[in-house]
């Protein structure tokens, strides 16, 4: 089992660290990919090592894609390579879990049309415009897609993510 987290500077610390530690606890290996390899820093000052650049990522090697929030998705959505990676996960119907601002990456990749989903409240407008069926719930599961709104939803987000990984 292998998970891919895509993020960048100004990630929402708990939304990256909780999946990072919880998946490790489950014995799942994790790569963190960013624009380039090296340290990325969260809004609250936590640093994590991106051990892959986006260009080095082969989506076929992973069982799940995790997209934490914060301001990082605003940066990542401008990266064509990141959008291509997200599309590959959807094409193969592999689990994708996005929280808070994380779904912005999926919006830009054009993957949200007709999908039941949620996100941080300030992202709801663009999510609806992208054709998604927005729901204000702690977690929404639709096919391969798990979405949540904010850090306090992390328990539900991780519960459904783990359920989906184990099923897939």
Q: Cβ closer to a second copy: 59 or 151?
A: 151
Q: What's the CA gap between 122 and 51, in Å, rounded?
A: 31
Q: What's the CA gap between 98 and 105, in Å, rounded?
A: 9
Catalytic status, residue 101: yes
Tell which positions 33-92 bind a second copy, by CB under 8 A. Answer: 44-46
Helix (H) or strand (E) holding 67, with range, is: strand 64-67
Give the per-residue contact string, 145-164, with a second copy (x = CB under 8 A; - = no): ------x--xxx-xx-----
C-alpha 32: how far from chain center:
11
Q: Cβ closer to a second copy: 45 or 122?
A: 45
Taking the complex as a whole, how short is the minimal distance between the CB of residue 166 and a second copy, in angstroms? 14
DSSP 45: S
Is position 133 an interface residue for a second copy (rule: CB under 8 A)? Answer: no
Is position 24 an interface residue for a second copy (rule: CB under 8 A)? Answer: yes
At residue 70's C-alpha, the angle toward residues 160 and 93, to 5°, is: 40
Is position 7 an interface residue for a second copy (rule: CB under 8 A)? Answer: no
Beta-strand pair 47-50/52-53: unpaired
Beta-strand pair 47-50/38-41: antiparallel
Taking the complex as a whole, how short is the minimal distance between the CB of residue 77 and a second copy, in angstroms? 26
**By three-state DSSP, how is residue 50 classified?**
strand
Could you say which of 52, 77, 101, 115 is catalytic? 101
Tell which one of 25, 60, 122, 167 touches a second copy (CB under 8 A): 25
**By three-state DSSP, how is residue 78 classified?**
coil
Q: Cβ closer to a second copy: 22 or 53?
A: 22
Enumerate binding residues for a second copy (CB under 8 A): 13-14, 17-18, 21-22, 24-25, 44-46, 151, 154-156, 158-159
Catalytic residues: 101
């Amino acid at each position: 089992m292998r998970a891919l987290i895509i993020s960048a500077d100004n990630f929402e610390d708990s939304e990256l660290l909780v999946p990072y530690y919880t998946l490790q606890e489950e014995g799942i290996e994790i790569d963190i990919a960013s624009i380039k390899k090296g340290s990325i820093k969260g809004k609250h000052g936590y640093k994590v090592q991106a051990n892959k650049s986006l260009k080095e990522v082969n989506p076929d090697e992973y069982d799940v894609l995790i997209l934490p929030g914060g301001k990082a998705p605003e940066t990542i959505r401008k990266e064509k390579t990141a959008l291509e990676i997200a599309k590959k996960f959807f094409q193969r119907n592999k689990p994708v879990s996005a929280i808070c601002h994380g779904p912005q990456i999926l919006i830009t990749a054009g993957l949200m049309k007709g999908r039941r989903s949620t996100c941080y409240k300030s992202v709801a407008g663009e999510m609806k415009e992208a054709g998604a069926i927005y729901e204000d719930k702690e977690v929404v599961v639709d096919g391969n897609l798990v979405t949540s709104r904010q850090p306090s939803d992390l328990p539900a987000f991780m519960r459904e993510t783990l359920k989906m990984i184990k099923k897939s």
